[in-house]
Amino acid sequence: MTSRREPRIDNLERRIAAIISRVVGSAIDAAEDDLENLDIDSLRRLEILALLEKEFVVTLTEDVVADFQSISRLSRIIRQARASERGAQEQKKHIPSTTH
């Protein structure tokens, strides 16, 4: 007997799925591997993008809309944006002030 392993879903992916579900008006499984099958129009994609930015306090580019393939891909993009923004904030802390 072969056992099929469920993909590991983390809290970030569940939160992304909840946002997408709210916008499209139907339940989306956090393990959804192919968001392209949902046929989400560009206006809804932009709405999702804005909600993701607000929820996760990140800045995402419109390129994310084009890369709207899966929840796991969106979670990687958000993690990268968070790390990048944290790095930029840390760097600002270490730059000496030029004002007197």
pLDDT in tens, the chain (100 residues): 444 445 567 899 999 999 999 999 988 887 766 788 888 888 998 999 999 999 999 998 877 777 778 888 899 999 999 898 777 666 666 666 665 5
Helix (H) or strand (E) holding 22: helix 11-24
3-class DSSP state of 51 = helix
pLDDT for 96 equals 65
pLDDT for 1 equals 46
Tokens standing for residue 66: 């084009």
Helices (H), 4-98: 11-24, 42-56, 63-66, 71-93
Task: Give every CB contact of residue 17 below 8 A, 6+ residues apart in sequence.
Answer: 28, 29, 30, 32, 71
CATH number assigned to the domain covering 11-93: 1.10.1200.10
Task: Give every CB contact of residue 65 below 8 A, 6+ residues apart in sequence.
Answer: 42, 45, 46, 49
Each residue's pLDDT tens digit, 71-88: 888 999 999 998 987 776
Please give the model's pTM, rounded to 2 decimal places.
0.76
